């Protein structure tokens, strides 16, 4: 079969850039894609650093200005892996230039920016140009299986949702300043960076949306040592003793009510000492329950309340069988997948949607919905009130 090339350009090249590069390179090797991704260009302000990444992952060229990427006829899709403060400008311009867009989460730094992006995506879709936001955890096979079980009614009517994202990489109070701790660049802290994932996952698995929230946010360490590129982020200019102000939250917690009436409890923190990447979701229904923890990412815990009480209990489903989502393209049963595979599955779903002329999910509208939840949590925490999401529209 002759495949048409899909010319890909990636803006940004650091942590997410490496994950996305691996995915673009790996997806066609394991999945029968309807289009063949070509790694045409990687773009970053530092030509040498971007060039080093290009050499490792096989990008064909290096650009230092994203606007020049949009002028290239050999680029069909733009993959945005930059900090949140640049998402709206790049994504809207790319869509208007007729380029498909994949944008890392959270979609934007503000609801207003996310609305602009969603509007641009809606307009572009009428011209056959597609846009997707990158919530890759929903493409973990065990999570996709959880969605299928809820859709099939296996746990009945959902009553409770508990979601946590626990990390500890900021526990050291003298860990250096990062762009992720600067509101101008990141929009928010743990809430937007990792809280966005659990909001998306909870809504995805349940097929329901969060309708109201009551939130708390906290910044435990208000300044951090400055190093390298962050020397202009505030604080004094007194050399090695310089510290910059942390302008985002370190932790967030909120209660939620879903549109169906189900209750939710959410927690996102970078201060859960000993927890490295514990993304957890539990859903309780009238006929059963599901539980997932990314630190055991190939497993899904399932409780069927219709089982005999004497022998019933949570069962561990090892989500590595060929009938489980995405697994057939990979290894024999029992040979687990890893963090990077979610990004590969993201590429597969996006490329397939583009080839089919379909709108991929999660859409920019879905990303906007998550952004509204995050904004409502911050507003609720500031006002010490429970906030109805309809009030934020």
Nearest to 222 by CA among 173, 171, 180, 168: 173
Q: What is the mean pLDDT of residues 265-270?
A: 98
pLDDT in the model for residue 217:
97
pLDDT of res. 393: 67
Mean per-residue pLDDT for 141-150?
98
Confidence of residue 392 (pLDDT cuts 50, 70, 90): low
Distances in whole angstroms, Cα of residue 304 to Cα of each of 135, 260, 308, 341: 28, 21, 9, 29
| β-strand partners of 303 | 289
Write down the pLDDT at residue 236. Answer: 36
Contact 102, 350 (CB under 8 A): yes
For 149-181, what is each residue's pLDDT tens digit?
A: 999 999 999 999 999 999 999 999 999 999 999
DSSP codes of every residue in 325-377? TTGGGS-STT----TTHHHHHHHHHHHHHHHHT---SS-HHHHHHHHHHHHHH
How many degrees, rounded to 5, is the angle at CA 59 between CA 55 and CA 62? 85
Q: Give start-end residues of each CATH 3.40.50.720 domain in the chain.
A: 4-136
Higher pLDDT, 238 or 327: 327
CB-CB neighbours of 30 under 10 Å: 15
Q: Given this model, what pLDDT does residue 284 score?
A: 98
Residue 33: closest CA among 75, 3, 10: 3
369 has pLDDT over 50 = yes
Other beta carbons within 10 angstroms of residue 125's beta carbon come to 17
**140 Cβ contact list (under 8 Å, min separation 6):** 292, 294, 297, 337, 341, 342
- Collect all residues with Cβ–Cβ distance below 8 Å to 89 and sequence separation of at least 6: none
Q: Average per-residue pLDDT in the chain?
A: 95
pLDDT of residue 391: 66
Q: Is the pLDDT of residue 1 over 90?
A: no
Each residue's pLDDT tens digit, 303-312? 999 999 999 9
Residue 39 clears pLDDT 70, i.e. is over it: yes
With 60 as the cut, is the pLDDT of residue 136 above it? Answer: yes
- In the chain, which segments carry CATH 3.30.360.10? 138-361+370-383
Residue 80 has a CB neighbour count (10 Å cut-off) of 27
Return d(Cα 309, Cα 305) in angstroms, integer: 8
Percent with pLDDT over 90 in the chain? 94
Q: Tens of pLDDT along 272-319?
A: 999 999 999 999 999 999 999 999 999 999 999 999 999 999 999 999
CATH architecture of 4-136: 3-Layer(aba) Sandwich (3.40)
Please check the confidence at residue 253 and state whether its pLDDT lies above 90.
yes
**Residue 276, pLDDT score:** 96
Eight-state DSSP code of residue 268? E
> Tokens at residue 88, please?
């709206």
Query: Cα 255 to the chain's mean position, in Å?
Result: 21
Per the confidence metrics, is the pTM higher than 0.85?
A: yes
**pLDDT above 60: residue 233:** no
What pLDDT, on the 0 to 100 scale, is given for residue 3? 72
pLDDT value for 227? 82
Q: What is the pLDDT of residues 179-213, one digit of tens each?
A: 999 999 999 999 999 999 999 999 999 999 999 99
Tokens of 76: 């069909």
158 membership: H or E segment, kind and range: strand 158-166
2 pLDDT exceeds 60?
A: no
* Per-residue pLDDT tens over the stretch 173-183: 999 999 999 99
Structure confidence at residue 234 (pLDDT): 35
138-361+370-383: CATH topology? Dihydrodipicolinate Reductase; domain 2 (3.30.360)
**Residue 135 near residue 147 (C-beta atoms within 8 A):** no
């Amino acid at each position: 079969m002759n495949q048409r090339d899909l010319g890909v350009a990636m803006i940004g090249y650091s942590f997410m850039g490496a994950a996305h590069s691996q995915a673009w390179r790996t997806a066609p090797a394991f999945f029968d894609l309807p289009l063949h991704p070509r790694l045409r260009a990687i773009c970053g302000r530092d030509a040498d650093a971007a060039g080093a990444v290009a050499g490792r992952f096989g990008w064909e060229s290096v650009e230092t200005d994203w606007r020049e990427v949009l002028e290239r006829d050999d680029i069909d899709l733009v993959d945005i892996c930059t900090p949140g403060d640049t998402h709206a400008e790049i994504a809207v311009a790319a869509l208007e230039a007729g380029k498909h867009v994949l944008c890392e989460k959270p979609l934007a730094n503000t609801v207003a920016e996310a609305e602009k992006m969603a509007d641009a995506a809606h307009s572009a879709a009428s011209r056959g140009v597609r846009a997707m936001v990158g919530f890759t955890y929903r493409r973990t096979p065990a999570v996709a299986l959880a969605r299928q079980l809820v859709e099939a009614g296996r746990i009945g009517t959902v009553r409770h949702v508990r979601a946590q994202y626990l990390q500890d990489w900021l526990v050291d109070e003298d860990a250096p300043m990062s762009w992720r701790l600067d509101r101008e660049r990141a929009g928010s802290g743990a809430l937007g960076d990792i809280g966005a994932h659990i909001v998306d996952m909870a809504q995805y698995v349940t097929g329901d949306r969060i309708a109201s929230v009551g939130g708390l946010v906290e910044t435990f360490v208000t300044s951090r040592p400055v190093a390298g590129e962050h020397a202009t982020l505030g604080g004094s200019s007194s050399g090695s003793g310089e510290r910059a102000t942390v302008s985002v939250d370190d932790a967030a917690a909120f209660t939620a009510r879903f549109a169906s009436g189900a209750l939710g409890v959410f927690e996102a923190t970078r201060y859960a000492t000993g927890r490295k990447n514990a993304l957890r979701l539990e859903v309780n229904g009238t006929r059963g329950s599901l539980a997932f923890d990314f630190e055991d990412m190939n497993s899904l815990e399932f409780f069927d309340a219709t089982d005999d009480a004497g022998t019933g209990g949570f069962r561990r489903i090892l989500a590595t069988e060929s009938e489980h989502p995405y697994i057939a393209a990979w290894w024999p049963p029992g040979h687990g997948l890893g963090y990077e595979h979610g990004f590969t599955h993201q590429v597969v779903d996006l490329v397939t949607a583009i080839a089919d002329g379909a709108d991929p999910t999660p859409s920019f509208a879905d990303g906007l919905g998550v952004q509204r939840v995050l904004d409502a949590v911050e507003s609720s925490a500031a006002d010490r009130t429970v906030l109805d999401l309809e009030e934020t529209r």
